[in-house]
Structure 1
Amino acid sequence: MSRPVGISVIIPTLNEGQTLGPALDHLPSALEVIVADGGSTDDTCAIAQARGAQVVVAAGGRGAQLNRGASIAQGDILLFLHADTRLPPNAAALVRQTLGQPGVVAGAFDLAIDGPGWGLRWVEWGVRWRSRWLRLPYGDQAIFLTAEQFHRLGGFASLPIMEDFDLVQRLNRQGRVAIVPVPVVTSSRRWQRLGVGRTTLANQGMVIGYLLGWDITKLAHWYRHLGRSKPG
């Protein structure tokens, strides 16, 4: 009898003490969990360790953190999960089923945002449309692929931002990126901080700037500055 395919969940963190606990509590115990921390100064690492997760520390941005986590993962499948996002209860089975489909090289989930309001429902609709028709899921949709495929591609690029977008672009050249028609649930904190319209425009501005070849370091600085600002 062949052994079950192992799944490693890799979570990048930076001062996620308030959000990490619920995400970890929703993960099945059978999954390997690796928290790849970027140098938190709060209790993020302690929370991860208390729940049995492995913790590694890496400098250089989220892409470097994810690569560091993947480098020690033991699973045949890697799933990259944001600290403020919860997987559905049957995620492991859905991941295995999706990657078993002919021509599929990677997958991601639909997205649900944990908050009320028609604006967030429009965001969810836009994510479904973009994911299915453009085959461009983002990192908050829990991208997953085999470890073999990930390492063959060279992992995440050394970028200060847009590392998930870059990976999915490369995956699309290898085969089909499938979308699981069951959502992960992510926090609404980004949209609450800036507002739905401003957040959506900022995200699309980043994509356009990246595709036009604008300086990625300047784009990252602009996006992070915007994220710290208050809506007018």
Structure 2
Amino acid sequence: MPAPVSIVIPALNAADELPGCLEHLMEGLGAGLIRELVISDGGSADETRAIAQAAGAEWISGPASRGGQLRRGCAAARGEWLLVLHADTRLEPGWAAAVARHLQEGQGRPAYFRLRFRARGLMPGWVAGWANLRARLFALPYGDQGLLVRRGDYEAAGGYPDQPLMEDVALVRRLAGLTALPCAALTGAARFQRAGWLRRGARNLWTLMRYFSGADPEKLAAAYRK
């Protein structure tokens, strides 16, 4: 019987972060969870492809757009379950046991990881705490918390839309029964550290509010990248 989980990772010039992400997935291989690894690339000009191929990943390429890349990657994956991760995410040790338990006891519900930043200090903890509260109260985890979803539920929800921003929000709003896994996804903090924790956090919240108000994701992405 094939392993149940396909790992799908969108990438764009991710050579600095992808090796750490892949290293932390190794326990899933040992546990017999991972059927395949799919890297959906948006036109990397660095060593991302070489790293992916060395890891035995299936390589999917196309235009750079987070939603489009994820849509192509999930379409290529063959597992009963999809585990979608960002390239700068490193799953906490013990994640494989938590996922295996969820597959057996979670009644097929989609799930996400608790967020932690790979940075120390008060602000990383505060921002991660808000993100975890948002996910729990409003069933609104972001993509950097990972998403574990059964293929049938993913397809019934319409999958990821081909848009450059808020593709994760668009999908999880259509998924029922989201639950948190009892382990963390440790994500990179570079954007917060460059912009400032409060400024980046406020911009993220403002972007979310504009999206809910009907703003064009293309325009939001352009503003987000500035």
Q: CA–CA distance in 1 between the matches of 2:151 and 2:131?
A: 26
Distance apart, 1:99 and its partner CA: 4.8
Q: CA–CA distance in 2 between the matches of 1:145 and 1:4?
A: 17
Native 8 Å contact 2:108 2:150 kept in 1: no
> What do residues 1-20 of structure 1 show as CA deviations (whole Å, max 9, x unaligned)?
xx365111100000011111
Match of 1:15 among 13, 16, 22: 13
> What do residues 147-202 of structure 1 show as CA deviations (whole Å, max 9, x unaligned)?
1111222210122210001101111xxx2100113111111111111110111011
Match of 2:67 among 63, 72, 89: 63
Match of 2:43 among 25, 39, 42: 39
Q: CA–CA distance in 2 between the matches of 1:15 and 1:5?
A: 29
Q: CA–CA distance in 2 between the matches of 1:64 and 1:159?
A: 6
Amino acid corresponding to residue 16 of structure 1 in structure 2: A
Number of residue-to-residue matches in the alignment = 220
Question: Residue in 2 aligned with 1:126?
Answer: 130
Instruction: Give RMSD over aligned pairs.
Output: 1.6
Q: Which stretches of structure 1, 4 residues or longer, exceed 2 Å deviation after superposition? A: 88-93, 95-105
Provide the secondary structure at the position in 1 that maps to 2:202.
Answer: helix
Larger deviation: 182-191 or 101-110?
101-110
Larger deviation: 110-119 or 83-92?
83-92
Match of 2:171 among 157, 167, 170: 167
Q: Give the TM-score of the pair, scaled to structure 1.
A: 0.89
Question: Residue in 2 aligned with 1:197?
Answer: 198
Q: Give the TM-score of the pair, scaled to structure 2.
A: 0.91
Match of 1:95 among 94, 99, 107: 99
User: Superposition pairs for residues 67-216 of structure 1, below 5 Å?
Assistant: 67-101=71-105, 105-171=109-175, 175-216=176-217
Native 8 Å contact 2:7 2:85 kept in 1: yes
> What do residues 15-51 of structure 1 show as CA deviations (whole Å, max 9, x unaligned)?
0111111111111234221111001011111111112
Q: CA–CA distance in 2 between the matches of 1:43 and 1:60?
A: 16
Distance apart, 1:103 and its partner CA: 6.2
User: Superposition pairs for residues 48-59 of structure 1, below 5 Å?
Assistant: 48-59=52-63
Distance apart, 1:97 and its partner CA: 2.9
Q: What percentage of aligned pairs have identical amino acids?
A: 39
Mind listing any 5+ residue stretches in structure 2 that lack a counterpart?
A: none
